[in-house]
Amino acid sequence: MVSCRRFFVAVISLSCLLASFTPSAQALPAFARKYGLRCSACHEAWPMLNYFGQKFKDNGYQLMNDRDSPIWQNPSYWPMTLRITPYFHRESTDKLPDVVDAPGTTNPSFVRGLTYSGFDHSGLDILTGGTLEKNISFLLVPSADETSAFHMESANVRFDNLFHSSWFNFKLGKFELDNLVSEKRILTLSANGGAYQLYHFIPAGDANIFGQIGDNQLGIEWMGHSVNDRTRISAAIMSTTDGSPDVPYGKNAYSGFFAASQAFDVGKLGTDRIGAYAMVGQAPTVFLTSGGVPIPSTGTGNKSFSREGFVGQFYFNKLNFQVVTQHGTDSAWFGAGFGNPIDNPGFPNNGPGVTLPAGTRNPSWNGAFIETHWVENPQLVFIQRSEWVHMSQQSIPGTPSNLGNTDNYVFGFRYMPLMNNRAGLAWHNEYAWIRQRGTALDGSDTTSSSVMSGLDFDF
């Protein structure tokens, strides 16, 4: 079983490596055009928000003046931004399973590496957002991958300042979870560095795809904040689908996400913020079948999972740190491979008479990352991130204790010669390295790296 787990993990890792990234950051020069502001008013380094930008977002993309309502806008104004990134990259991994060594033969014990390079482009984001009327805001982001296959990244409407209070704001649709360190505004873009591993970690052999807090979700959210935005708190209820439409998994499965944070002044150094979050939910493990094939939307037998974390943003003039720690736990059923036979036909389906292997336990893990930014000026930022996710308890007895442990290191810089209320252009350069313990077919570690240099632009 451990050998099969390593094989599946290696295949998944290869698929992730070969897939090009699609930056889904939400940065709209349209807002700067609307209010006559520079992009640096809201962004510490595009697309990452500063304190003023976070307050603007929390107010429903409003400055809380007469210009918030669309009726006061120039009829030629259209709140839309297009974003894409042409780039050169080099991808390398030291170990891959080669299940077809030659035509007509198989040799699953053979392990080899892969390195390739070339010119490429990312997917396309079409971002539009703003106000439908004063205190009624929206965000719509149709997004395509690099092959032009579209999906809906974000689609939500928010009612702001209900009862004339900043504590009553409700959002409905598909939206980013209210996490203080946003993956949608991440400054790194490469195949091995363009996501927070902690937000998407799934233990080896685990079939729970639903606890990925980096993905946008479908649901409803209440969010409240003090007038000066120092204190923030939110609660969301989502369908347990990892943001997929049409409820393709459980017919009655929901998850909750809860977050709170507090900001405080540190004098001339800036405004720091600390916070905490928790994602708790249930997902199905039992699906009806037709001819042995699981039927979508029939999932029952819900089992639980949770993610809890602490977040900090600390500023020291030009130097700042984003710190995130997280603990994760899944039901033993997920750890044994139950949970998502819709997307993974080879995974088991729970049902009458099915029992867990003897001694199966709830898998659990701990992780953290520290991301450092040196903001030389609004046009030049240097980036470094160190990230670790390590298992504290494997689900299946006898599984190596470090199987699936992930270490990720990223270095880069963004130079933005163009940042105005019409367009943005960044020369992006990045190196990322990642290691996963025990995931190669022969039981050794797998390491991968990415080098990229490209032009990230929107208009």
Task: List pLDDT tens digits, range 264-274.
Answer: 988 877 789 99
Structure confidence at residue 22 (pLDDT): 42
Rg (CA), the chain: 23
Structure confidence at residue 212 (pLDDT): 95
Cis amide bond preceding 378, omega within 30: no
Of 113, 111, 15, 94, nearest in space to 446 by CA: 94
Structure confidence at residue 1 (pLDDT): 45
- Condensed to tens digits (0 to 9), the pLDDT of residues 254-307 reads 999 999 999 998 887 778 999 999 999 999 999 999 888 899 999 999 999 999
Structure confidence at residue 20 (pLDDT): 40
Of 251, 235, 255, nearest in space to 243 by CA: 255
**Of all helices (H) and strands (E), which one includes residue 6?**
helix 2-18
DSSP characters for 67-80?
GGSGGGS-TT---E
User: Which residues lie below 8 Å from residue 303, measured CB to CB, with a gap of 6+?
Assistant: 282, 283, 284, 285, 331, 333, 334, 338, 339
Instruction: Copy the structure tokens of residue 289.
Output: 């079948």
Structure confidence at residue 292 (pLDDT): 84
Domain 2-458 belongs in CATH node 1.10.1840.10: no
Structure confidence at residue 95 (pLDDT): 82
CB of 128 within 8 A of CB of 152?
Answer: no
- The residue ranges of the chain whose pLDDT is under 70 are 1-41, 43, 45-46, 51, 65-78, 97-111
Instruction: Copy the structure tokens of residue 197.
Output: 């591993």
Structure confidence at residue 131 (pLDDT): 84
CB of 329 within 8 A of CB of 372?
Answer: no
Placement of tokens 């259209």 in the chain: 78
Q: Where are the domains of the chain?
A: 2-458
Of 422, 414, 417, 427, nearest in space to 455 by CA: 427
Structure confidence at residue 6 (pLDDT): 47
